[in-house]
């Protein structure tokens, strides 16, 4: 019952108010299972250390996709979360050389990490970063990348992340040949979500037929304001369209 209440009020209110309501709620705020999933809350480094410490190694999902995550935040999460399965974050300007350092730690400390989502607002994200992630996480199943432009990113993903089960991309200039490259390079792929604004985006018959073999795909071309869909995926595209 109390866990349901805590799920409703969210991490921020648990940390700053709810835990002080009564002894029972305070005890629950110290329970590691309260902190198995940390979603969408911007925490200063001091408070992040509190919630990660309270998870006591039980943290399986850290979703900071709506806020910036600093490299030292990642380091603390990876060092103390051996059961971590998913990390989502925004970053701007600190990627090199820290990304490889932090993901090297994660590949050792977090053997269950198979879902990585990155929103990049920086030109520092390089092809070598895709290679690094693919090399350090050969069993990576889900990957999401939001970037300004597609200047060969689909080629790098296909070359270095062949084991993907689900891929989500938001970037301009994606065309049908990029989807073909992904389908060729990621034979295990079952779910594909793409948001783009290409002025020349047309699906040829070959790509259409190959997409139909997936369990689900959704492609949204902002420029043409049209959508081609076989089966609806989980609502990961809803926030991207706005």
Q: In the prediction, which pLDDT does 124 show? A: 65
Domain count across the chain: 3
Give this prediction's pTM. Answer: 0.79
List, for residues 101-152, the tens digit of each pLDDT value: 888 999 999 999 999 988 876 556 778 888 989 999 999 999 998 887 777 8
Domain shared by 41 and 26, yes or no? no
102: containing domain: 36-140
Mean residue pLDDT across the chain: 79
- Measured CA to CA, the distance from residue 59 to residue 122 in angstroms comes to 28
> Do 20 and 40 have their domain in common?
no
Please identify, among 123, 140, 157, the residue that sits at the C-terminal boundary of a domain. 140
**174 lies in the same domain as 136:** no
199 has pLDDT over 80? no
The whole-number pLDDT of residue 16 equals 65
Of residues 152 and 221, the one with the higher pLDDT is 152
Band of pLDDT at residue 237, cut at 50, 70 and 90: very low
Rg (CA), the chain: 19
Looking at 115, 140, 165, the residue that finishes a domain is 140
72 and 158 housed in the same domain: no
- To which residue do tokens 């996480």 refer? 137
Same domain membership, residue 129 and residue 40: yes
Question: Of 122, 140, 158, which residue constitutes the final position of a domain?
Answer: 140
**H-helix or E-strand spanning residue 89:** strand 86-91
């Amino acid at each position: 019952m109390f866990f349901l209440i805590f799920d409703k009020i969210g991490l921020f209110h648990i940390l700053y108010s709810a835990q002080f309501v009564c002894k029972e709620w305070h005890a629950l705020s110290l329970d590691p299972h309260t902190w198995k999933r940390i979603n969408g809350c911007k925490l200063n480094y001091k408070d992040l250390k509190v919630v990660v410490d309270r998870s006591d190694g039980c943290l399986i999902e850290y979703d900071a996709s709506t806020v910036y995550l600093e490299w030292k935040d990642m380091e603390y999460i990876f060092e103390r979360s051996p059961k971590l399965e998913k990390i989502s974050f925004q970053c701007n300007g600190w990627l090199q050389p820290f990304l490889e350092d932090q993901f090297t730690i994660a590949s050792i400390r977090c053997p269950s990490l198979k879902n990585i989502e990155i929103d990049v607002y920086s030109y520092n994200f390089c092809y070598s970063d895709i290679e690094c992630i693919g090399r350090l996480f050969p069993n990576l199943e889900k990957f999401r990348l939001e970037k300004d432009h597609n200047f060969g990113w689909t080629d790098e993903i296909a070359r270095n992340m062949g084991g993907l089960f689900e891929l989500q991309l938001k970037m301009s200039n994606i065309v049908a040949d990029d989807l073909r490259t992904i389908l060729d390079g990621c034979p295990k792929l079952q779910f594909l979500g793409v948001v783009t604004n290409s002025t020349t985006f047309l699906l040829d018959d070959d790509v259409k037929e190959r997409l139909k073999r997936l369990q689900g795909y959704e492609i949204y071309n902002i420029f043409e304001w049209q959508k081609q869909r076989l089966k609806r995926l989980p609502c990961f595209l809803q926030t991207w369209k706005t």
